[in-house]
């Protein structure tokens, strides 16, 4: 593989040295969550050991230190996705909460009975259910753009769904169940031509490619820290400032106010208007450390390396008789979802686990995708920058052996 320092990267992730059932761990469940480098772990330990206090509160030294680290992370995130301002970076619990926030603030304000919201047939439940809930609350209608048998969005059909009733388009940037990378620039251009804002679910894309929200021109972008080598419980909502300014707050409480009397409350400015209560301070600092770590490697290099891994894994998988790949889009991230003839994915998961290999078996929180491909579930190997060709060989040997055992 081309000059990618994978061994050096592996050494930065202590968990990769774990033995699972007496075998070296082969961690291929990165689409569910990624492991954490020592730099992220250290950043949290250091914060709690030296700098921790509540943020935006006091004049004492620790509160200032803690706030500096917290807001410093916000700036790193702003630069990482090339947002125009820190005001556009809202901390939430994860991509799921970010979508719910948009649905319950932007959606409730702007969406009326009979209005339409467009999603695609490859969405994660987190980009389906919040819109269904909003539709129930408002009387709006959810429209679903179809996919083809390769797992690609049928763009013409998507375009046909756009009408003068469409108020929002919310699509996944990269599918967690299929790996498909959507033509998001085309989608955004088509929606903007009709003055419709677009939310991109970046939970899977952010860890695996360079994301530039200004270049994409998306109106909202959401992602989770835990898939970006950072702690769980922290995620980001990016929104264009003008949209965020016009939206009502999400939750009420401390930090999101400027002035409170019993008669009325004046809300705080962006981004704090959407950040009620004490935030996930250490998690935010950990996310900042993860971004420093990724910048040290380079997102473009990571994307190129993972593309090589996917190509290698796909080639090997296609040689296995009885293996069917679910999701064969031309533009695809490093996810290999598959089913084996007459062997249930759950059995595949347990058998691979006994060899130290962690894959996901199930519906991947995308039951409509499973229905479309007429499978109850799939097994999914999802790769990250610390995986190797040798690990893919271990996976493929494991699959071949379990096929033999099942007979």
Partner 1 sequence: MFDDLRDLYQEVIFDHNRNPRNFRVIENADRQVEGFNPLCGDRLTLFLKMDGDVITDASFQGSGCAISTASVSLMTEIVKGKTGQEAEELFKKFHEMTTGKDLNFNLEAIGKLAVLAGVREYPARVKCATLAWHTLDAALKNEQKSISTE
> Which residues belong to the active site?
365
Neighbours of 363 (CB within 10 A): 18
Give the one residue of 355, 359, 384, 394 binding partner 1; rule: CB under 8 A: 355
Give the one residue of 36, 240, 363, 380 binding partner 1; rule: CB under 8 A: 363
Q: How many residues does the chain have?
A: 407
Rounded (10°) angle between helices 281-297 and 61-80: 40
Tokens for 39, please give them.
């730099």
Binding status of residue 128 toward partner 1 by CB under 8 A: no
| C-alpha–C-alpha distance, residues 325 and 314, integer Å | 8
Give the one residue of 128, 343, 369, 381 binding partner 1; rule: CB under 8 A: 343
Could you please report the per-residue DSSP string of 249-318? Answer: PSS-SSSSEEEE-SS-EEEPPTTGGG--SS--HHHHHHHHHHHHHHHHH-HHHHHHHHHHHHHHHHHHHH
| C-alpha–C-alpha distance, residues 199 and 96, integer Å | 12
Binding status of residue 341 toward partner 1 by CB under 8 A: no
Binding status of residue 351 toward partner 1 by CB under 8 A: yes
Per residue in 194-233, is it b (16+ CB within 10 Å) or e — as a string? Answer: eebbbbbbbbbbbbbbebebeebebbbbbbbbbbbbbbbb
Contact positions with partner 1 (CB under 8 A) in 5-24? 21
CB of 328 to partner 1, least distance (A): 21
CB of 363 to partner 1, least distance (A): 6
Q: How far is CA 167 from the centre of its chain?
A: 23
CB of 354 to partner 1, least distance (A): 5
Contact positions with partner 1 (CB under 8 A) in 376-395? 376-377
Q: Which span (50-58, 159-167, 275-283, 397-405) binds partner 1, by CB under 8 A?
A: 397-405
Q: Which helix (H) or strand (E) holds 91?
A: strand 89-92
Binding status of residue 324 toward partner 1 by CB under 8 A: no
Give the one residue of 203, 244, 361, 381 binding partner 1; rule: CB under 8 A: 361
182 vs 382, which CB is nearer to partner 1?
A: 382
Per residue in 148-162, is it b (16+ CB within 10 Å) or e — as a string? Answer: eeebbbeeeebeebb
CB of 227 to partner 1, least distance (A): 21
Binding status of residue 340 toward partner 1 by CB under 8 A: no
Binding status of residue 373 toward partner 1 by CB under 8 A: no
CB of 226 to partner 1, least distance (A): 20
Binding status of residue 28 toward partner 1 by CB under 8 A: no
Short-list 91, 70, 88, CA closest to 79: 88
Q: Which span (9-17, 224-232, 293-301, 346-354) binds partner 1, by CB under 8 A?
A: 346-354
Q: Which span (160-168, 289-297, 306-314, 399-407) binds partner 1, by CB under 8 A?
A: 399-407
Binding status of residue 50 toward partner 1 by CB under 8 A: no
CB of 378 to partner 1, least distance (A): 9
CA angle 218/230/302 to nearest 5° reads 65
The span from the first CA to the last CA of the chain, in angstroms, equals 35
Give the one residue of 2, 7, 195, 407 binding partner 1; rule: CB under 8 A: 407
Binding status of residue 26 toward partner 1 by CB under 8 A: no
Residue 90 has, within 13 A of its CA and on its CB side, a CA count of: 35
What phi, psi does 89 have (nearest 5°)?
-105, 105
Q: Count of residues binding partner 1 (CB under 8 A)?
A: 22
The runs of H, that is alpha helices, within 118-154 are 129-138
Contact residues for partner 1, defined by CB under 8 A: 21, 343-347, 350-351, 354-355, 361-363, 370, 376-377, 398, 401-402, 405-407
């Amino acid at each position: 593989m081309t000059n990618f320092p994978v061994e050096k990267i592996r050494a930065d992730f202590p968990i990769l040295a774990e033995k699972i059932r007496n075998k070296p761990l082969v961690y291929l469940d990165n689409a569910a969550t990624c492991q954490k480098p020592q730099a992220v772990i250290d950043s949290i330990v250091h914060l709690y050991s030296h700098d921790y206090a509540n943020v935006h509160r006091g004049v004492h030294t620790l509160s200032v230190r803690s706030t500096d680290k917290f807001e410093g992370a916000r700036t790193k995130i702003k630069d990482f996705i090339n947002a125009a301002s820190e005001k556009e970076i809202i901390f939430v619990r994860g991509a799921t909460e970010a979508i719910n926030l948009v649905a319950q603030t932007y959606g409730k304000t702007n969406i009326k009975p009979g209005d339409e919201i467009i999603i695609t047939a490859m969405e994660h439940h987190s980009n389906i259910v919040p819109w269904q809930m909003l539709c129930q609350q408002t009387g709006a209608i959810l429209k679903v753009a179809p996919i083809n048998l390769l797992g690609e969005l049928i763009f013409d059909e998507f375009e046909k769904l756009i009408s003068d009733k469409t108020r929002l388009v919310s699509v996944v940037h990269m599918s967690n169940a299929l790996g498909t990378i959507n033509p998001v620039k085309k989608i955004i251009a088509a929606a903007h031509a009709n003055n419709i804002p677009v939310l991109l679910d970046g939970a899977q894309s952010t860890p695996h490619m360079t994301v530039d929200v200004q270049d994409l021109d998306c109106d909202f972008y959401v992602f989770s820290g835990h898939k970006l080598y950072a702690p769980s419980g922290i995620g980001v909502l990016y929104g264009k400032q003008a949209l965020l300014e016009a939206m009502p707050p999400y939750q009420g409480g401390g930090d999101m106010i400027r002035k409170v009397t019993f008669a009325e409350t004046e809300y705080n400015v962006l981004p704090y208007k959407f950040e009620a209560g004490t935030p996930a301070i250490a998690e935010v600092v950990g996310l900042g450390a993860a971004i420093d770590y990724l910048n040290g490697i380079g997102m473009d290099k990571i994307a190129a390396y993972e593309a090589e891994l996917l190509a290698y894994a796909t080639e090997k998988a296609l040689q296995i008789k009885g293996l069917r790949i679910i999701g064969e889009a031309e533009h695809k991230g490093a996810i290999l979802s598959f089913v084996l003839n007459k062997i249930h994915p759950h059995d595949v998961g347990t058998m691979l686990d006994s060899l130290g290999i962690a894959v996901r078996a199930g519906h991947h929180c995308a039951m409509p995708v499973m229905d479309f491909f007429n499978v109850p579930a799939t097994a999914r190997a999802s790769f990250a920058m610390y995986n190797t060709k040798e690990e893919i060989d271990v996976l493929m040997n494991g699959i071949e052996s379990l096929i033999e055992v099942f007979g």
